[in-house]
Amino acid sequence: MSPSPEPVFPEYETDTSQTSKLMKKFKETPFVPVGMAGFIAVVGYGLYKLKHRGDMKMSLHLIHMRVAAQGFVVGAITCGVLYSMFRDYVGKPKE
């Protein structure tokens, strides 16, 4: 038995902070934070408008806000996938 075993996944054993890992992930997939921010914005706007919804039922208002938030997230994911495909297949020179 050796006193110090080698790490199985050395890329996960680096001494980096959580912030640097998060920034690296955001640079790899830039549309994830856009989707998260859009979701939070739609939910915040929905909560703000909840007070001034008029005679609309609460359940109908919540359904509309849920659909809007999900639509924003799905749109951000779609843009991210398209951006990733463009970067990998079109922007990358052929070898």
Residue 8 lies in a domain: no
pTM over cut 0.85: no
Instruction: Report whether 32 contacts 26 (CB < 8 A).
Output: yes
Question: What's the domain count of the chain?
Answer: 1
**pLDDT tier at 23, thresholds 50, 70, 90:** confident
- Residue at 42: amino acid letter: V
Cα 59 to Cα 65: distance, rounded to the nearest angstrom? 10
Residue 63 lies in a domain: yes
* Mean pLDDT for the stretch of residues 61-75: 88
Residue 39 lies in a domain: yes
Cα 77 to Cα 70: distance, rounded to the nearest angstrom? 10
Residue 83 lies in a domain: yes
pLDDT of residue 7: 58
**Segments forming the whole domain that contains residue 55:** 13-91
Residue 73 lies in a domain: yes
Angle ∠(43,24,21) on CA atoms, nearest 5: 85
